[in-house]
Every structure is written in structure tokens, then in C-alpha cells.
A and B are shown apart, each in its own frame.
Chain A
């Protein structure tokens, strides 16, 4: 049986010997032979059974080491006149367990165990000895409690255990072991090794920059599709572990297939099936099943006269790809949803299946849990530098081109100057609204404008507001997510007549994305009039709360960027989805993983989303962005 060396398990096995034993076990789990690794419950390195010598306890107890000696051995040693070196048995016993001993009052002449201070010999051998004797300590305590009158005969250790021979050559054996350890350990064994559990590992095959739903999805599919179990080490670096500004948590959480591009429709369809079977994909034993709180109420898109033709052709494409969407005339709309005012609406498209909204936090949590169980490393830190190496190569047209490859990522810790250089083979840019900064670190866009070297990643943060209001006479339980002709949208939230919605501002009135402050006037002037026009019941509503979040807005064509960069050969993008990243995350994650592992897209062909299009100027425009 392969044992998991979790801290709890180790602590339990060492018996009711608290404090130091547990500390030793904990330290031995955390620190290994000078390298710095994070040890989490899912860390596969912890699976290595640590032998006795491997469990080098490196706890910071400094010079005041303690040695346990069996009293009998000590006496023998004393009798020989050569008590082990520094062991000055006359000193009073100290440290933990001393309290228990003092309580029993059996200090100077007692039974089996004696705690003795050895002045300045702190070395690992003693600890190794201690670890092996630790289990016997419990027995010793019991023996001490038994009355003396039972005589030594019953309380001595059995023959065949380490007795005389061990203690006779105590000093020699100890120095021998110390020499052996010194030769194994790199450098001089210092008293206190710094605690490096918060730092990421020094090597990692893949570094995912950004721990939102896209980054986690890529990490999940990488581990799911790898050929050998444990064949790839993946590190997810997330700057903010509270996800306070991440687009995932602040999202409205909708999923729909009503796009104009077939690739987007395919991605959404796959994501819907992923969410439907989420407890098969993200199953973790002993964890409760995930409840996504999915509302399958669908999306209702309204089109005015001038958009009606475009909507019809879109619906045709959607039906071809397999989405269940139907077109409705204004009369049918009024029939089905009597609370709607169809003034100005020429056509509506209504998604019947696989469309609705869900809880993005649940998806994030489920992904995180599954990733931890699959052995993915998580690190809280910020990527500050990429160390690249370049190669000049000649293309077939006899042009010189410089290909770069990132071989090291510097991850800086929070509120500190400390950073860890992580050697890596592949970097995934899933940093959402801040992807452009990460790309700039790798030198993307540093070059004369108009060239491939000078093409920046055109993703920037755009602030969007979401408002929650209460309207007691509002639309009923069957309300889909309604997207008006003006761009305003709303949906029901829960059973209690609460609704939430918003609107994308026009280009000229884009709010400043420096912070996430909410502008309530925007609701008053730009959102409410349209809502009240479309749904007369919304003329009397009361705003309860509001929040703001970022879109990782692709200023070029509002569609995602997926795949490798042509010049920085090992950076892969999974960003820029301009508001529909959450609903396409499972599909995109799988596509990027396939690109990395197989070299090309296997299931859904996302070649229209490659980086090259920014240089070539070919827009993959998506018309249905809310």
C-alpha cells in the first residue's frame, strides 16, 4: 500500500506525543534535501515514503538539542566512567516531558527514560535516533507509572534490542553518522533552514499565469490529457488568492449558444455538456458533488428592424451547429411572455436548451479541488519577469527572424521583494484583464509598429457594472436572460423577485478601469430607461446593490486569443474573451491542452483565434457581444 505522508497521518502515527514529535514530522514533510517545494495535501512528492534517514528533521530548535537516553544505558555509560561526551547526567532534565517527569517526582533515580541536555551538539543523528525511539516513549511513560515494586525484571527491554553495543560506542557511532550526513547534504548543515513552503517549486513543466476559470481549465485539461499519470508538473500562479478583482467571480454567469461564429457555438455547446456532467469530470472521492445552481431558463435576444436579417442568419448557423434556438415573432413573444413590451422588436431568438446561468464560484471551486487532487501546484505570487533565450533563424524566404523561448519565470511574493525563479518549458497566459502586461514582459510588441515583433496583444481591461434590484410585480419564474435591442440585459435572481442586469456602455463612454467603483448614475441614465421601456413592470424598481468587474476586452475583434505566439514559441494564450470567457472556458482549456500535447487543435478547430490575425489584420468578428 502506498502511504500518503500527510501531516495529520504522520502526527497520528507517532502517538500522543505532541509538540516536538509533530513538529519534526511536519518539518520533515515540508523540507526535503535543500530544494524548495510547496507541500500541499495533493503534492505528489509527498507520496514518496520517507525513510528514517530521509526524514531529516530540520526544525529550528537551534543549539539546545535534547538527547534521550535510556537510563540503563546511561548508567552503564556512567559506570564505565565514560559517559557519552557532553552528557552531563547531573543536570536536571529539561524540555517537554520534563513537566511530566517532574510531576511524577521520579527524576534522579527512576526507571527507563531520562531527558538530558547535551550542551551544544545539535545534529541530525540524534534526531534520527529520537524518531526511532519516539514510539517507545509512550511505552516508557506507561512503565514509569507502574509501581517500582514490580521490580526491574518486568520492566526491562527484551534482549535482542539495541542495548549495550549501541551505547558503548555511542560517541563513535554518532560522529560516523554525522560525517555521512554532511557528505549527503549540500553545503554546511545550518541550524535553521529558511521556510520555503510559500514559494513555488524551482522547476515546473508548465506555468499557468492566472488562476481564474480559464487558467484552471487549461491546467485541468493538461493533466487530464497527459499520456502518463504524473507526467507533467503544472504550476498555477495567481496574484490574488481572494479573487477580488478576477473576472470569474464577478461574472453574471450566463452561458448561451447564440453567437455568430461557429467556433463560438461549438465551444459553448461543449461547455454546456461539461457543466452538465461536471460531477463526472471533476469527481473527487470523499468530496460532496458540486451543485452549480444552473438555471436552464435560456437566453432571449431581441432584434430591431435593422438587426433582424443578421439575427436570422445567425440562428441558421446556430441550428446548423446543433444549438436549440428558435425564432419568435412579436406576437409569439407577447403570447409567451405577457410582461414584455414588443415595441421596436422585429424578431427574437430564444434558446430552449443548454442555455441559462450558473454560479461561477462553484465551478472555480470545483476546478481547484480537482486540480489539487490531481497534483497541480498552486502558488500565490506575481509574475514579474520572464528570462528568455533567443535564436536567430532563417525563414524559407531568406528572412532573419528571432525566435524567443521563455526558460525561467520569476514569481514575486506578496508584500515582499522575495522572488522564486521557476524554470519552465511552457508558459500559459491566462491573466485575463492583465494579459497584455504579461505579454509585454515576454517582449511581445517590442518592435517597430507594423511588424510581427511590434504587434502587441490587444487585450485591455474594460469595466462593466452589474446592478441588482427588487421589483415585486416583475416577470415570473419563467423569465429567461433578456437582452434588449439597446444592449441592456437582465435576468431573474432567486425566488424573491430580485433581478440583476446591466448594459455595455458605448465606446465613448467607457468608464475608467483603474478601479472597481460603481457608477450609480449610469444605471439611472443609461440602463433603467431601456429596461422600463421593454418591461413596463420595471418602472417601479428599487436597486439593492451593484458591483463592477472587468472584461478582458479584445479591442481588435472582441473574440478570444488562443494558441501559441509565433515568435515567443512557448507562450500560449487563453485570454481576451471579452465577456464570454466563463462560458467557453472548458472548451478553450481543452483546445489549448490539445495544442500543447498534440501540436494542433483536435476537437474544436480554433485556428481563427490564433495570435497571427492581429498582424495579418484578419478580424474574426463576433456580433453578439453583450
Chain B
């Protein structure tokens, strides 16, 4: 049974309860999927039911990404933004403090409500269901230095175009494993001129990872781009080795 990274799709019985799993097993999915598709094609009721369940999934994601900006006047922007991240299941690190992570029940310590003036330094939003609207809350954290959006299923090219307000402070960004990020979204990261480390490994929607890596490296000269070896996708001759060469490929 092979595991593969699938783009969010409406498929299978597992899909009926979830917008799109990041990783789903193949094997016995096929039969259930075929049965469901057959039922869907022949009965309006099944189609309406699936449509309704899909709408419910989407509204759940919307609910998670509702606006917390009203907390700003009471507790300050940093606490409001941190609250949003913690509720999503991510972790935050205030300056000079330890990482605050929710435990497996989703509970987290309420000490951060007191940190009115302390900016948030790092956010680990891996596997969170942040989407375009949720970034409203994330962008409250004006002095963010490190952001990790690994394997977020709803982060796509539109979301990346919203990250430019963090350009002054953001030094580290990780987008590894996001199923919806493509090279077109990576193009708008050029606003983030203070970026020192960018992780773009394992992006299934990028059509040509090696070439994209080169182009992104050119776009962000001061940044160390971690991702793919630039030789990936190139056909090597028998005597050539994939080593770093000095001359960049002209774009």
C-alpha cells in the first residue's frame, strides 16, 4: 500500500469527511471511490448529500480562520495573533520566552495574555488549517522572524502574496510539503528581502523543482534556499556528477 501526497480532492469515503487529506493510502480506496462515484452519477440524492458534506467541510475551515482582530485593542496585536495560532494547533515563541505549544487536547497555558508588549519571534504553524482569511490574524505579528507553514493544506499561491507586510523582519520561512504552493506563488516572495533561509522542499505542485530553485535563488540573492538539488530533472551523462558549479544557469 503506497502512500502518496495528493492534492486536495473530493475523493473516496475518507474524502467525504475531509476536504483533502494530505496523505491517503491507495489500495482499498479505489473500490470505495468507484462505488461512491457510481452512486453519485445515478442518484441526485447522493450528489446533493456529497455537496452538502463538502460545504460543511469548507465552513469548518472558515470557522477556524475567523477574524480575531477584535482582540487587538484589549490584549495587543501579539497576543491576539498568538491566540489564533495556538487555537489552530500551532506553536508560538515570544521573544526571550519558551515555545508555547498546545497539548494533545488542544489546551495551552494562558500566560501569553500578559505579554502585551512582547513581540512574537517565531511561529510554527505546521499542519494547521490556515487559509487566506486566517492570514489576517497572522499578519498582526509585525515583528515575526521565523514562520513555518509546513504541510499546511490550504496555503496556496494567493496566501504567499499576502506575506509582504512581514518583509522587514522575516528571516526564516518554511513551505515544505504544502500541496497547493506552486512556482507562481514563490515568485511573490521577492518582497521578503530580509529572508535568510527559505525551505521549498517537497512541493508537489511545482512543475520543475530544479529550475524553480535556481530562479528563486536568483530572485533572493541573500537567502539560502533549501529545497531541491538543482540538478534534479536534468539528464546526466555517464561521466557527469551532480556537483555544485560556480556559474549559475542564466535565467
Contact = CB atoms under 8 A, between A and B. Distances in A.
Interface of A: 1-4, 6, 8-9, 47, 276, 280, 283, 285-289, 293-298, 352-354, 356, 472-474, 476-478, 495-497
Contact of A3 (B43, B208, B215): B43
Given A6-B41, A285-B54, A478-B187, A352 B218 contact: no
A473 B250 contact: yes
Contact of A285 (B10, B132, B190): B10
A474 B215 CA distance: 12
A338 B10 CA distance: 44
B188 A286 contact: no
Contacts of B216: 477
B93 to A, nearest CB: 28
A476 B158 contact: no
B219 A477 contact: yes
A4 B158 contact: no
Nearest to B10: A285
18 contacts: A1-B43, A6-B42, A9-B42, A286-B40, A286-B50, A294-B158, A295-B157, A295-B184, A296-B158, A352-B191, A354-B161, A356-B161, A477-B186, A477-B219, A478-B187, A495-B207, A495-B212, A496-B211
B7 interface: yes
Contacts of A473: 250
A2 B45 contact: yes
B105 interface: no
A8 B38 CA distance: 11
Nearest to B59: A280
Contacts of B183: 477, 495
Contacts of A352: 161, 164, 191
Closest A-B pairs by Cβ, 10 of them: A296-B161, A478-B190, A295-B184, A477-B215, A477-B187, A285-B50, A2-B44, A477-B219, A276-B158, A1-B43
Contacts of A354: 161
Contact of B7 (A2, A8, A289, A298): A289
Given A285-B47, A288-B9, A477 B190 contact: yes
B43 A4 contact: yes
A477 B37 CA distance: 41
A307 B164 CA distance: 28
Interface residues of B, number: 41
Nearest to A280: B58
B218 A476 contact: yes
B41 A4 contact: yes
B159 to A, nearest CB: 9
Contacts of A472: 250-251
Contacts of B158: 276, 294, 296
Interface of B: 7-10, 37, 40-45, 47, 50-51, 54, 58, 132, 157-158, 160-162, 164, 183-188, 190-191, 207-208, 211-212, 215-216, 218-219, 250-251
A298 B196 CA distance: 24
A472 B183 CA distance: 18
A478 B157 contact: no
Residue of A295, A354, A495 with most partner-chain B CB within 10 A: A495
Nearest to B158: A276
A297 B188 contact: yes
A353 B8 CA distance: 24
Contacts of A8: 41
Contact of B219 (A2, A285, A476): A476
Contacts of B207: 495
Given A289-B10, A495-B207, A353 B161 contact: yes
A276 B132 contact: yes
Contacts of A353: 161-162, 164
B8 A477 contact: no
Interface centre among A3, A294, A354 (most CB of B within 10 A): A294
A285 B51 contact: yes
A255 to B, nearest CB: 12
Contacts of A47: 44
A289 B211 contact: no
A286 B41 contact: yes
Contacts of B188: 296-298, 478
B161 A476 contact: no
A497 B187 contact: no
A496 B210 CA distance: 12
Nearest to B220: A478
B155 to A, nearest CB: 13
Interface centre among B10, B37, B45, by most chain A C-beta atoms within 10 angstroms, is: B10
B41 A9 contact: yes
Contacts of A294: 157-158, 184
Contacts of B187: 295-297, 477-478
B42 A4 contact: yes
A287 B9 CA distance: 9
Contacts of B164: 352-353
B215 A495 contact: yes
Contacts of A1: 43, 45
B47 to A, nearest CB: 5
A478 B219 contact: yes
A434 to B, nearest CB: 34
Given A4-B41, A4-B42, A477-B187, 17 more contacts: A8-B41, A280-B58, A285-B40, A286-B10, A288-B9, A289-B7, A289-B9, A293-B184, A294-B157, A295-B157, A356-B161, A476-B219, A476-B251, A477-B215, A478-B187, A495-B208, A495-B215
A188 B190 CA distance: 75
A296 B160 contact: yes
Contact of B251 (A6, A9, A276, A477): A477
B184 A296 contact: yes
A276 B54 CA distance: 17
A297 B185 CA distance: 8
B200 to A, nearest CB: 12
A477 B217 CA distance: 10
A289 B208 CA distance: 21
Nearest to B7: A289
A9 B38 CA distance: 10
A135 B109 CA distance: 69
A441 to B, nearest CB: 38
Contacts of B218: 476-477
Contacts of A495: 183, 207-208, 211-212, 215
A476 B215 contact: yes
A294 B58 CA distance: 21
Contacts of A9: 41-42
A287 B44 CA distance: 15
Nearest to A351: B161
B190 A296 contact: no
A563 B184 CA distance: 37
A353 B164 CA distance: 9
Nearest to B164: A352
A276 B135 CA distance: 14
